[in-house]
Amino acid sequence: MQRTIKTVLVIYKADHDKARGMAWTVADWLAERGVTCLVRENLPDAPHVVIPPGAMVTAPPDLALVLGGDGTMLSAARKRLVDGVPLLGVNLGRVGFMTSAGLDDWQDVLADILANGFAEARRIMIEVTVIRGEETVFSTISVNDAVISRGAMARLAAFDVTLGDGDVCTLRADGVVISTPTGSTAYCVSAGGPLIYPGLDVLCVVPICPFLSDFKPVVVPAESPVRLALSAPETNMYLTCDGQELFPLDDLDVVLVTKSERCLRLARRPGESYFERLRLKGFINRP
């Protein structure tokens, strides 16, 4: 349980006037309560602005406050900037499943955290690599998922699927989703996959519109690499990671998904319930 919060990193959604204005409002509010803030836009080379001016920052932030929506949370989490720093999201978007506060209650949430601290939840991340022949041609980190999907042509792809050390099958489908538990509420569930309790150390492989196949969504240990080898020619396929990075695939490319050494750290108020969050966001109905 983190109790003493001396420094907060405030990251706001890029090119978003409301988020920019709110960042200074939040930073001033925290400064009035003795907390030093580092404010920056969610861009790769954005500078930090220290609030109050002239304050000295001698240690890493105790908390990163992300102003935006789930997309901003994902983008911030993937950057090395927040490695080792718990994230707390303030939702300015639509769903905001990863966020813990909104426009109406951020002051109450922050006041509670300043007074009582926060609980930390750790979520796995994945490393996604594309191998072409003997060469690695693409590599990135994802929080939610890696999705292989078709391009403009409505043509099925074929994938040789290997889970861990075992060759499973050749799958014909429109694509495949490889999801972390965090990402199970995104494309995974939309494609027919399960909701997965976020603290589990697993991955989920979900086919998108499989053809003449009884391959069902499968959950595997996160330590088991997921290997998908494209085996059909001229299928015009793309790899998308967290909906934020796009990479065109060639015939016979191999997509390898492994558990990353990095992890996502989330700040939560004690007592927050995953199932209550599912109800609030409309994933399940109240009895």
Cite the active site residues.
70
Contact 34, 4 (CB under 8 A): no
- Position 80: which residue type? R
Q: In terms of C-beta density within 10 A (0-12 exposed, 13-18 middle, 19 or more buried), how is residue 271 classed?
A: exposed
Q: By CB neighbour count within 10 A (0-12 exposed, 13-18 middle, 19+ buried), where does 118 fall?
A: buried
Strands 63-68 and 7-12 come out as parallel
Nearest 10 degrees: CA dihedral of 274, 185, 189, 146?
-140
How big, in percent rounded to 5, are the helix, strand and coil portions of the chain?
A: 20, 40, 40
What separation, in Å, do the N-terminal and C-terminal C-alpha atoms of the chain show?
32
Per-position DSSP letters for 55-121, written without gaps between them: ----S--SEEEEEE-HHHHHHHHHSGGGTT--EEEEE-SS--TT-SEETTTHHHHHHHHHHH-BEEE
Query: Quick one: which H or E segment has residue 208?
Result: strand 202-208
Beta-carbon contacts of 38 under 8 Å, excluding residues fewer than 6 positions away, are 7, 8, 9, 10, 48, 49, 50, 51, 57, 61
What is the rounded distance in angstroms from the CA atom of residue 182 to the CA atom of residue 125? 9
